[in-house]
Chain A
């Protein structure tokens, strides 16, 4: 069974630009969550999508947004990039039911803002 696939693996953007990151979950998984990992703040929850609906949201500004498609693939978008947005962005895939909430992570997208 293929794991969680995130594309691209590495990205360099200029301050003020916007960026879109993609995540393909494990087949059969309907929940996709996104996390930001930085040396200073650690791992922080961005949002979770289930059946194309945002089910939970972290404390990030509105510049961070996401969506999920009918095939469960998800994208996250960051607009008006700031230097502080440089981070490893991790996507996690889960079945989505309430009884078994283990999440399986992709290898991440390393975003560098210059």
Chain B
């Protein structure tokens, strides 16, 4: 069955520290992969996406993610976290060429001043 796992429900980091949010997927073929961020009471904002090609993808707000086929992972990273990054982060997967996204359960990020 197709699934996305975000093992960390909550993560707390200090402002200025580095961040890595984990995402593992289970899929029959190479999927399209996405990271979204959601602030309280808001919709989802696309941070970055992977369709094919270079396995290290750059996104908005200084985020990047690396696709590792052998580990079925697509972890999100940021070298230095800002207080405004506090939000919930969702990893999603879709079959190539489709719009039916499967989302992980999300990781809530708290940033300490």
How many residues on B have C-beta within 8 angstroms of the other chain's C-beta atoms? Answer: 25
Please tell me which stretch of B21-29, B41-49, B77-85 contacts chain A, meaning at least 4 of its Cβ atoms lie within 8 angstroms of it.
Answer: B41-49
B112 to chain A, nearest CB (A): 25
Please name all residues of chain B whose beta carbon is closer than 8 Å to the beta carbon of A44 when the two chains form the complex: 103
A58–B103 CA distance with the chains assembled, in angstroms: 13
Please name all residues of chain A whose beta carbon is closer than 8 Å to the beta carbon of B43 when the two chains form the complex: 4, 6, 90, 105-108
Q: For chain A residues 56-114, which have a beta carbon within 8 Å of chain B?
A: 56, 58, 90, 92, 94, 96, 98-108, 110
A107–B105 CA distance with the chains assembled, in angstroms: 19
Q: For chain A residues 4-47, which have a beta carbon within 8 Å of chain B?
A: 4, 6, 31, 33, 35, 42-45
- CB distance A100 to B42 under 8 Å? no
B90 within 8 A of A: yes
Cβ contact of A43, chosen from B41, B42, B90, B96, cutoff 8 A? B90
Interface residue tally on A, bucketed by range: 20 to 34
Given A43-B103, A105-B36; A99-B97 close (CB under 8 Å): yes
- CB distance B99 to A48 under 8 Å? yes
Q: For chain B residues 57-113, which have a beta carbon within 8 Å of chain A?
A: 90, 92, 94, 96-106
Given A42-B106, A43-B90; A103-B42 close (CB under 8 Å): no
Smallest CB gap from B6: residue in A:
A42
- CB distance A103 to B100 under 8 Å? no
A86 to chain B, nearest CB (A): 15
Most buried by A among B43, B97, B101, B102: B43
B107 to chain A, nearest CB (A): 12
Please name all residues of chain A whose beta carbon is closer than 8 Å to the beta carbon of B100 when the two chains form the complex: 33, 45, 48, 56, 58
- CB distance A107 to B46 under 8 Å? no
Smallest CB-CB A-B distances: 3 pairs = A98-B97, A43-B103, A105-B43
